[in-house]
Every structure is written in structure tokens, then in C-alpha cells.
Structure 1
């Protein structure tokens, strides 16, 4: 499976047309068709449905498309790192959970760019499961997560500011006047949960057995829209949604119980070959947060 063929495949998937993809890639249509046919034969599966007006991805095609994007991204990143010369430059790629601690990380990033204006940051919002997968494959330089990680595989730097769990609900809800909520308070209502595996397991153990869970989420903005639409109450972290203004239809109420505060940390793979830009970023973060330690 050649990189060039993966590039052809991705272009066809995005253009939904072999002829348009051929024009974009500056190759002939028969050449492109032959390359995709050979790729399908190599993989032993059909990648496209061929219609009269457009081509669309099969289920296996969708899988390959997502993996191809990751592979091509890693190839570009590797090439850029190897070609680094002169002033420090390049892109630092971060997969991040949402949380207030990111403000301090971005403040450090801003200071870095004042000294190294050719360093860029690519920040992807994701849950911990996705972040760990992409760290392991080299797609990400760093992850920001709120979970314990295997210290034999990852190095870790605690970030300042702790979060706490609570419930996002409409201001006109029956529970909106409570100063705090417990698990029994939530029993009569549908609950929206974060969709990362560790959180779902934890809350499934805490919530009443027959509670309804109509949806899960990985981005709090989408969760807030579901709450506004009346789909349920969202269990989430503090201060991720602005609820103080009169215009906001939502409010946030803390959860009681054996819920430890949430500590975000920056993680990266041990012994990974980091770019110069990533090394500069990590050194600056270590200087900024040296007062924090991993227990």
C-alpha cells in the first residue's frame, strides 16, 4: 500500500468523483481507476460504491479513509520534523479534554510564539480514549487527560486548576433551585453521560439502576444543546459552559458524594522522538508548572 495511492484514495473519497479527483491530482482518469482497483484487490474488499453520478465509500472504505487520514498526517509530520533547519519551527499537535486548565497551557503557548513565531499549535478536542490511541500511533505529540495512565508508557505533568463534577440542566427545571445534587435526586430524570469508557463505567456504577441514559457526548457544546432540547440532564465538569448570564437558559449544580476533584495532566509517550518545537513547548510547560508534582 503506497502513500501515493492512499492520497489518490482520499481525494476520490472527498471529491466523490474519479474524474474530479484525477483533475485535482493531475493524473489521467484511467490511471486513477486502475490504482484504486489494484488497491481493492490488494485489500480484498470493495472500497467504493460506483454510481452513475458519484462514488461513495463502503463500510470498509470509511474505515480505510479514517486510517488513511491518520497515516498521511503522520507522514507529513515526520517529513516536517526531519527537514527542520534554522529557527525552531513546526506544528505541535495536542489532543485535549475540555477544562479550565487549558487556559494556563494556552498562556504558555502564547509566550512561546512570542519567542518562536514559526511554531504553530494544532489542538484537537477529544476524549481520553481517542487521545491515548492517537498518542500511541504518533498522530499527537501530547495529550491532556483527566485519568490515570500507565506510567511505564507515558510521562505526565500535572496542570494547575482542578475541576469538579456537576449537572448541567435548564434554569426552569425542577432541580434548578438546589445548591447541590445527589444520585437519588437524578433518579427520575434522563441523564446524558460523557462517552469515554472510564467515565461511563464510573457513573454506571453510581447512578440508580433503572435510570434512563438517552445519549452520550464527547463535546460539552453538543451536550448543552441536548440539554436545551430537553433530552436530559448532562453530567459534566464545572465551568465548561457559561451559565451566569441572564441570557443562558442553563445552570450548573455541583454533585455531592464520593467524587474526587478532577486533575488534568499533560501526557506524552516515554522515549518518543519529539520535534524541536515539541521539546520547546514541553520545556516551557515544565518551567511554568514546576511547583506541581505527580504523587
Structure 2
């Protein structure tokens, strides 16, 4: 069954005339007659009663007309929806982000995005770095907000703003009187690290190893606030992104810059190299890149 058959049939039924239907559709009357005859033969019923001067639908014609109008409405709706998607008037973005990082970077950018694209829904979930990469790789989310480096054989990364890692110590610590310190001067310290599923765990360990020592781990946690409290109660020191220190807002903590080496904490959006990106997702990535590019 050809969709044009339904289109022609519905127009003839509305106009109650082959001539008027042909004029409305800008096709020849023989073309319409041929198309409707083929439709009747395919269905095995008579759709139009042509015996009277005034054309009428048969019982079968009424049934087909009801269904045909619904089909054509659905087709029109589908075409309109696809056009809206292509023009980025509607769509959905499924996004994953690392805890705290998203709340630090995204609220203002997303508010601006929603003003420009009010018809696009944004669905956000929190994951630590490694589960987030898995979710993106499996196609369960469209895009992830994480930190570099990532596996570039699997992901395309869009670098965003960066910051440095700083040391946080308690107020009575020997570093509390200093503004900066070399990383290798911390080799005797007890470190409070984030758990292994967090990107910062590997970043800190690798930075320490490059400075000639393996950090002595006193505790590990998955909670930013808890790490801050553990440092404040003299359980050790920690290295955290500078923005996190402001969020901890603990008067018992002192921040010390790492003078050498500077440890970059580079934020990025990632998505699958081989995955399909909808028009909405592409618009979102381009917008966030523009708002938060280095």
C-alpha cells in the first residue's frame, strides 16, 4: 500500500469529486483514478459509490477513510517532529557528570542553553570518573563531563576550563605558614586520597610518582566534605582542585599552592567516537564548548 494512495483517497473523499481532488493535489485526474483503483484492488473492496451523481463513501470506504486520516496525521506529525529535531527545536540530552564538578561548572551554562533551546530536555546523573566513562562507552548516556586524560581510542574529548590542584592542610600543620610547596617536599606526609573510581586518585598518585615518591595513604574516601573534615582533624593532608577548597568552606583548613610540578585538572566533555549524536546533543556540546572553552 502506497502512502500516496491513502493521500489521494482521502482528498477525493473530502472533495467528493475527482476533478476537485486533482486540482487540490496538482495531479491529473487519470492519475488519481488509477491510484484509487489500485487501492481498491489491493484491499478487495469498493471504497467509493460512483453510481449516483453525488459521490459517497461505501461502508468499507468509511472505515478506510477513518484509518487513512489517522495514518496521514501521524505521518505529518512525524515529519514535523523530525524537522523540529533537525532545527534543534526539540530533543533530549542524557548527560553524566562527576560529583561536585557538575555543580561547579554547569548551572549557569545550562541556564543559558535552556533559554536558547527551551524544547530540549536535559537529563543529568552523577557518576565517578570510571563508571561515567563506562556509561558513555555503552551508549547509556550521550555525553559525560569528566577530567582528562581519557582513552582517546574510545572517546572524543572536548577540553573545557582547567584549574590546578592544591594541597589542603590543618591550621597547625608545618605548611600552614607557607603559600606554596614543592610536591616532593610532601613525601613524608600521610595522604587522604579519594577512592580509586575517582579520576583524582590516579592524578595525585601519578604526580607523586613523577616527583620520586609513592604517597603514604592514611585514608581513602569518596566524599569531598569528608576528606576536608579528615584533614581539618589532623588525619593527614590532601590534594584537591582549587574550586573544591572554596566549596569546603572550612576555617580549619589552609590552602598551599603546589609550585612544582603544577598539577593540571582539565575538565572535558566526552562522547563515543563511533556513536550517533543527535542534533540536540551536538547543539549541547557546541554550546558548552563555547561557554567553557579554555
Q: Same fold (TM over 0.5)?
A: yes
Equivalent pairs counted in the alignment come to 205
The match for 2:189 is: 189
TM-score of the aligned structures, taking structure 2 as reference length: 0.58
Rounded to whole Å, the distance in 1 between the matches of 2:158 and 2:215 is 37
Is 1:243–1:250's contact at 8 Å kept on the other side of the alignment?
A: no
TM-score by length of 1: 0.58
Quote the Cα distance in structure 1 between the aligned partners of 2:108 and 2:232: 32
Find 1:280's aligned residue among 280, 283, 290: 283
Aligned to 2:209: 205
Which residue of structure 2 lines up, in the alignment, with residue 216 of structure 1? 220
The 8 Å contact of residues 164 and 238 in structure 1, kept in 2 or not, is answered as: yes
Q: What does residue 229 of structure 1 align with?
A: 233
Contact 1:95 1:140 (C-alpha < 8 Å) held by counterparts: no
Summarize the Cα distance change of 1:102–1:210 in structure 2 as closer, same or farther, 3 Å threshold: closer
> Could you tell me how far apart the structure 2 residues matched to 1:244 and 1:133 are?
29
Query: 1:143-188 deviations in whole A, cap 9, x for unaligned?
Result: 223222333322121213x211211122232211111122344234
3-state SS of 2:193 partner: strand
- SS in structure 2 at match of 1:121: strand
1:256 aligns with 2:259: yes
Q: Tell me the secondary structure at the aligned position of residue 180 of structure 2.
A: coil
Aligned to 2:20: none
**Which ranges in structure 1 are unaligned for 5 or more consecutive residues?**
1-83
SS in structure 2 at match of 1:164:
strand
Corresponding residue for residue 93 of structure 1:
95
Over alpha carbons, which structure has the higher Rg? 2
For residue 213 of structure 1, report the CA deviation from its aligned partner.
0.6
**CA-atom RMSD in angstroms:** 3.3
Q: Per the alignment, in what secondary structure is the counterpart of residue 241 of structure 1?
A: helix
1:106 is matched with 107
8 Å Cα contact 1:100-1:240 kept in structure 2: no
Q: Which residue of 1 aligns with 2:272?
A: 269
CA contact (8 A) 2:208 2:215 kept: no
Give, in whole Å, the separation in 2 of the partners of 1:118 and 1:262.
33
- SS at the partner of 1:175? helix
Secondary structure at the residue paired with 2:260?
A: coil
Deviation at 1:238, TM superposition (A): 1.2
Q: Distance in 1 between matches of 2:191 and 2:124?
A: 29
Gap change, CA 1:256 and 1:283, over 3 Å in 2: closer
* Alpha carbons of structure 1 residues 212 and 201: separation in structure 2 relative to 1, 3 Å: closer
1:206-232 per-residue CA deviation (whole Å, 9 max, x = no partner) reads 467575312223442232122223321
Going from structure 1 to structure 2, the CA distance change for 1:284 and 1:187 (only over 3 Å counts) comes to closer
Gap regions ≥5 residues in structure 2: 1-80
CA 1:115–1:278 in structure 2 vs 1: closer, same or farther (change >3 Å)?
same
What is the SS of the residue equivalent to 1:139?
coil
